[in-house]
Amino acid sequence: MNLLNDKKLLITGVLTDDSIAFSVAKLAIEEGADVILTGAGRALSLTQRTAKKLPIVPEVYELDVTKPEQAFELSSIIEQKWGRLDGVLHAIGFAPQNCLGDGVLKAVWDEVSTALEISTYSYKLLAEAFLSLLQKSDSGSLVGLDFDASAAWPTYDWMGVAKAGLESLNRYLAKDLGKFNIRVNLVAAGPIKTVAAKSIPQFGQFEDAWAARSPLKWSTTDHEAVAKACIMFFSDYLPLTTGEILHVDGGFHAVSA
Ligand SMILES: NC(=O)c1ccc[n+]([C@@H]2O[C@H](COP(=O)([O-])OP(=O)(O)OC[C@H]3O[C@@H](n4cnc5c(N)ncnc54)[C@H](O)[C@@H]3O)[C@@H](O)[C@H]2O)c1
């Protein structure tokens, strides 16, 4: 089965082979897509090394979302290379340490603004920078990775606020990009052990909660279900779905204690 034959995808957020985006890139390549990766700042060389573990080694370009000019430069490069994009994955999140673990009162605006710029506003940056390329697709698809923001979690604090903003932005981007036949959707994943997850204090609390409550058995080391959902959004199988948040969390969001 080749769900993504001839699709051209830009995948952000591959840091290590534990990154959720790594699994998306791997599955996308296996499903026939051509893929370009991006890496940020000092982590770029790590992304380049990780890219070599994929079945076909993709090109890697620098894209730090705090430097918007890099996104527009990359758009010009892809314009020359492919002339279009069929999909973009936003797999980017970061919050300074004070934004996590100690309640929302401690962090100051500089720290909060960094979290919101990198984790929320950057979704709009990708939409804006790659709009002209996605418009040239028969069915452009912007996909982001979310952590359910409908309630307050322990320790997640300002990242939770950033994700709530991402969920709202997802709806507004869907509203604004629908006229270009571009779909905009989020996959709300359950907890998965990645570098980003390690920065969340007491991540074990999430693992314990999922072990106790998730209707379907959840594994914090299995990225495949989340990757498959992203592939569905990049495929032609959900042509009239936009502004959606698809929970891939074992059903955790649907139940309470
Ligand atoms: N791991 C989980 O439990 C979980 C659950 C739900 C959602 N998510 C989301 O999945 C996405 C990917 O995270 P992950 O868990 O795979 O961890 P990860 O650490 O592998 O990926 C995070 C990525 O964000 C990138 N990034 C950070 N600052 C950046 C910047 N300024 N510019 C560009 N990129 C930058 C990093 O380079 C890295 O590739 C994030 O949005 C995260 O919030 C993760």
Flag whether pLDDT at 229 surpasses 80.
yes
pLDDT of residue 1: 65
Number of the ligand 1 atom closest to the C-alpha atom of 118: 31
- Decide: pTM greater than 0.95: yes
Mean pLDDT of 219-233: 97
pLDDT in tens, 8-27: 999 999 999 999 999 999 99
Q: How far apart are CA 167 and CA 37, in angstroms?
A: 24
Find the 24 Cα to ligand 1 centroid distance in Å.
Answer: 13
pLDDT in tens, 143-186: 999 999 999 999 999 999 999 999 999 999 999 999 999 999 99
Q: Where are the domains of the chain?
A: 8-247
Flag whether pLDDT at 257 surpasses 90.
no
Q: Which fold has domain 8-247?
A: Rossmann fold (3.40.50)
Find the 241 Cα to ligand 1 centroid distance in Å.
Answer: 24
pLDDT of residue 180: 98
Site to substitute for ligand 1 among 10, 11, 19, most atoms within 8 A of C-beta:
19
